[in-house]
Copies of this chain bind each other. A is one copy, B any other.
């Protein structure tokens, strides 16, 4: 494992630390996933407690790990930290082959102010991470203003192209109120972005990986689970790294295609029903099937539609046994129709 120190911005003292593991040779695969660690510290400093101990956890899981010590203190003025993030991400991508990294599988994890930076990267950056892990992140105006007035609130910038997020917080956090984590969940839910979230009943602020030797206050026994859980979540999103490369992912970055540029059978029933008459007509086999089910079970058609409206058109057509080739043909036609998003 090589340790490389890179100066991203000498003037602002921005440094990227890289820990690079081998590939090929006895390790039969040639590409690893990677993670960029963004420590916290209120944009006043970058905490060591949220740097190496975090990198070590992902190294153990097979990741190439990077720590970005971004602009803080006198250099913290926004968007300096986000620019540092972009520069670091571009540096990593430009060295992807040399460092055995799969360009499509670079995640980021941020803590507190670093969680704010990570969430802005996930929502606003040019080089969005493939997945963002937000640990007790600062999201809302109140806490952002404590660091520096004028910074963006990431929940307000969530869009359908936001990176999938994994959110961690403690209910009794006195520094960054738990509402920060909740409002971020809400924004992701409203835009169809895939996420996972774990709010522990107690743990306060700044528990990092939750290891005994890092925590300074009382934390629930479940708090340290977030590390392994985030690795499991990434494994479902990226596919599993094996000696013969990555397996297929088991979860997608979006929960359906309601926000995609064109229509498809991956859109939800609720969404497709708001499209043109032409689309409704195209889906006649589905609506016929739903009517038959409603009649058989003595439901009202509208009641049943309401109950199943969040299912995708594919899921429902399979449920009412529309033949596979019909589904395929409908999907193909839908792909030629622009998606109307309200």
Contact = CB atoms under 8 A, between A and B. Distances in A.
A235 B221 CA distance: 10
Contact of A174 (B171, B303, B308): B308
Interface stretch (A84-92, A199-207, A282-290, A328-336): A199-207
A197 B170 CA distance: 10
Given A21-B52, A28-B216, 10 more contacts: A1-B56, A26-B48, A42-B307, A56-B56, A62-B213, A171-B196, A183-B186, A185-B199, A197-B197, A218-B250
Interface of A: 1-3, 19, 21-22, 25-29, 32, 42, 47-49, 52-53, 55-57, 59-62, 142, 145-146, 164, 166, 171-175, 177-179, 182-183, 185-186, 189-190, 194-202, 209, 211-216, 218, 220-222, 225, 229, 232-233, 235-237, 240-243, 250-251, 255, 268, 303, 306-308, 310-312, 315
A222 B233 contact: yes
B3 A307 contact: no
Contacts of A173: 310
Contacts of A28: 216
A172 B236 CA distance: 14
